[in-house]
Chain A
Amino acid sequence: EPEVTQTPSHQVTQMGQEVILRCVPISNHLYFYWYRQILGQKVEFLVSFYNNEISEKSEIFDDQFSVERPDGSNFTLKIRSTKLEDSAMYFCASREGLAKNIQYFGAGTRLSVL
């Protein structure tokens, strides 16, 4: 069964460093998302992406964050200068299309900022 793949599974970085989290959505999907879950808290929406542009972003998704679909298969989330409070589990999700509403999630990347 097709699945959303995220790499790495765990990323450790120093505060102030840039990180790139990578995702390979399901191949025929058109809508892509990033969510995050701080330990013990709710899963929160960060950004949605369709047709090579951001369709919606949350208040959390400030200028330190960016997303990109550099080729036909990858979808990346970049955090330019990490802060301690960016430590969280980051989930990528994809959805096939307007009539197909189920969002499929990857296993997540645990980001630890030291």
Chain B
Amino acid sequence: KQEVTQIPAALSVPEGENLVLNCSFTDSAIYNLQWFRQDPGKGLTSLLLIQSSQREQTSGRLNASLDKSSGRSTLYIAASQPGDSATYLCAVSGTASKLTFGTGTRLQVTL
């Protein structure tokens, strides 16, 4: 059974700092990995999707990497802003397409 873990559970950084969020998964036979953002009481916003054959994806200040063989992904956020404060979720998909979610990292960017 796939298990997804995210470290750290919570992170507080000053504005402007670069940061890395970590995601690990137990079964490397994934089809893709998706990073989401969740604001309190809100839905999930897709940030990046990495196919299993890819090593990384970039969107603006966000860069996600994938090391499938070791079961790890990182989300790098450059020059963090207070508006980046949210919970970041990592989710993996097997061939059946359902997503298995991690526990999330709650990010607070302070002024």
Q: List the interface of chain A (C-beta within 8 A of B).
A: 6, 31, 33, 35, 42-45, 48, 55-56, 58, 91, 93, 95, 101-108, 110
Contact = CB atoms under 8 A, between A and B. Distances in A.
A105 B49 contact: no
A102 B46 contact: yes
Nearest to A101: B32
Contacts of B46: 102-105
Nearest to B31: A101
Interface residues of B, number: 24
B67 to A, nearest CB: 19
A2 to B, nearest CB: 13
Given A43-B91, A107-B43, A48 B98 contact: yes
Q: Point out which of B32, B99, B103 has the most chain A C-beta atoms below 10 A from its C-beta.
A: B99
Given A43-B89, A43-B91, A101-B32, A31 B97 contact: yes
A107 B42 contact: yes
Interface in B45-60: 45-46, 49, 51
B20 interface: no
5 contacts: A42-B103, A48-B96, A48-B98, A56-B98, A101-B51
Contacts of A56: 96-98
Nearest to A100: B49
Contact of B99 (A35, A108, A110): A35
B81 interface: no
A94 B44 CA distance: 12
| A-B residue pairs, 5 tightest by C-beta | A107-B43, A105-B44, A43-B101, A45-B98, A105-B43
Contacts of B102: 42
A33 B93 CA distance: 13
Nearest to A108: B43
B100 interface: yes
Contact of B44 (A55, A91, A95): A91
Given A55-B96, A104-B46, A105-B44, 11 more contacts: A33-B99, A55-B97, A56-B96, A95-B97, A101-B31, A101-B32, A101-B51, A102-B34, A105-B43, A108-B42, A108-B43
